[in-house]
Structure formats: structure tokens, C-alpha cells
């Protein structure tokens, strides 16, 4: 079965919009766990627009020994104010997985993956450091990515296929080419010895087709759509629906 990791960034966005502690991100995580998810994902950013370093630490204490903990972020973003940097956060909380993403402050959300040929030398020492901390390392990649053997050679264990273009094409009724690209990336990654994750704009309406077409799918990370759907159906029920779709 493909593991569902629930991204809780949008819970933090809602809390931060009003200030204070509600909605409680740890209570949301607890609800997701009780509803059957296999992991929790957060993507702290230096501008603290949603999940903050204190959330990362609080969730680590809650999740340890229960479900997987995936922290995403740009490893090249410098420490700033309360944000100590992605590698330092990983050193503090030792998550199950760290997903490296080439995003910047100017992006509303992640919108592209690493270029493996161009970026691999810069990534090598960071991957070494994260592996020494006991973290599984995943790289965010586009569906058109190739040369996965370069990632495997520096100790990367998984890639996360960026599924935003697929979701957009699905909504327009023309997902075939993007599904084929995602499936090809998954096969190439598997041949290189890498596990396959996926995420971005996956939702209940487009997930079944994706899972049916894309082989070797170990994990999906879903946040924005899941939290939006939960506004209508409730968080526990929505998580259970996703778990059923992935079985």
C-alpha cells in the first residue's frame, strides 16, 4: 500500500492568519494519525509564512515512534531570524525523511524540481550530512527528469515526483501525457534503485488514476487539497478517504 503523508502547512496558515494557537497543528496531526495516515509532512520556510520551527519541534515530539515524519525545504536557504536552516532543523529533530526542494521565498508554492545533472555536486555534501543524521533523503524532481543514477550515487534514497502539471492537466481533461511522463520517471527511478514518492495538487478526484498508472509508488504527500476537502467533510473522514484510495 502507498503511504499517505499529510502535509499540515495549511493548518499553520489558518492559525497564523489570526494569531494565537488555533487551529492546533499537533491536534490536527493527532487526528490524521488516528484516521490512518502513515506520515506527517511539513515544509517550513525562512519567511515563516506557515509552519514555524517551533511547530517542527513540537510535531517531532508527538510523532516519534508512531508515524513517519517528513520535513521538506530548500537546503540552500540561509538561516534567518527564528529559522535556523533546514539542515539544522533536521539535526535537532531527526525526521524519518528530509525532502530537498529548490524553492525560494518568491514562490507561492513549490513549482519545479532539481536538475540532477546541474545540481548534483552542490547536493552531495548536504545528502552526506543528512544521511549521517539518520535521515532518509528524497529529492523533488520534475516528471521529465532523467539521470536518476546520479542521485543514487550520492546517497539519495528516494525522489518525489512533482505532480502539479499532472493535476492541472487532469482538471482540463487531458492527463494522458503527464501520467505517462510520471510513470516513466517512476520506472527510471526504480531502475536506479530509488524509491518513488509523489506530491503536489493531488486530490481525491485525481489520485486513483495517478496511482493506477504510476508504478513503484511508495508515498504521496498531500496537503492543500486534503485540508480544503476537510472543510466540507471533516479532517478525520477526509484522511480515511485518502487511505482507502491508496489501498
Active site residues: 43, 72, 200
Among 109, 93, 14, residue whose Cα is nearest residue 54: 93
CA angle, 215 as apex, 211 and 219 as ends, to 5°? 60
Residue 79 per-residue DSSP state: P
Give helix 235-246 / helix 224-233 axis angle, nearest 10°: 120
Number of neighbours of residue 211 by Cβ within 10 angstroms: 17
CA angle, 142 as apex, 141 and 144 as ends, to 5°? 125
d(CA 58, CA 107): 26
Amino acid at each position: 500500500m502507498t503511504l499517505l503523508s499529510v502535509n499540515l502547512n495549511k493548518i499553520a496558515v489558518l492559525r497564523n492568519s489570526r494569531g494565537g494557537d488555533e487551529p492546533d497543528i499537533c491536534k490536527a496531526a493527532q487526528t490524521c494519525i488516528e484516521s490512518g495516515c502513515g506520515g506527517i509532512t511539513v515544509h517550513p520556510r525562512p519567511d515563516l509564512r506557515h509552519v514555524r520551527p517551533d511547530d517542527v519541534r513540537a510535531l517531532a515530539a508527538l510523532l516519534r515512534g508512531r508515524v513517519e515524519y517528513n520535513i521538506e525545504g530548500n537546503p540552500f536557504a540561509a538561516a534567518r531570524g527564528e529559522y535556523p536552516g533546514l539542515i539544522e532543523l533536521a539535526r535537532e529533530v531527526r525526521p524519518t525523511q528530509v525532502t530537498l526542494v529548490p524553492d525560494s521565498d518568491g514562490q507561492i508554492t513549490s513549482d519545479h524540481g532539481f536538475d540532477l545533472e546541474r545540481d548534483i555536486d552542490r547536493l552531495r555534501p548536504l545528502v552526506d550530512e543528512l544521511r549521517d543524521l539518520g535521515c532518509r533523503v528524497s529529492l523533488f524532481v520534475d516528471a521529465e527528469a532523467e539521470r536518476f543514477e546520479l542521485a543514487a550515487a550520492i546517497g539519495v534514497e528516494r525522489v518525489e515526483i512533482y505532480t502539479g502539471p499532472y493535476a492541472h492537466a487532469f482538471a482540463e481533461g487531458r492527463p494522458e501525457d503527464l501520467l505517462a511522463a510520471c510513470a516513466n520517471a517512476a520506472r527510471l527511478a526504480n531502475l536506479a534503485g530509488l524509491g518513488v514518492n509523489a506530491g503536489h495538487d493531488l486530490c481525491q478526484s485525481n489520485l486513483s488514476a495517478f496511482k493506477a498508472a504510476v508504478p513503484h509508488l511508495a508515498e504521496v504527500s498531500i496537503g492543500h487539497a486534503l485540508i480544503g476537502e476537510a472543510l466540507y467533510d471533516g479532517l478525520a473522514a477526509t484522511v480515511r478517504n485518502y487511505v482507502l484510495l491508496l489501498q
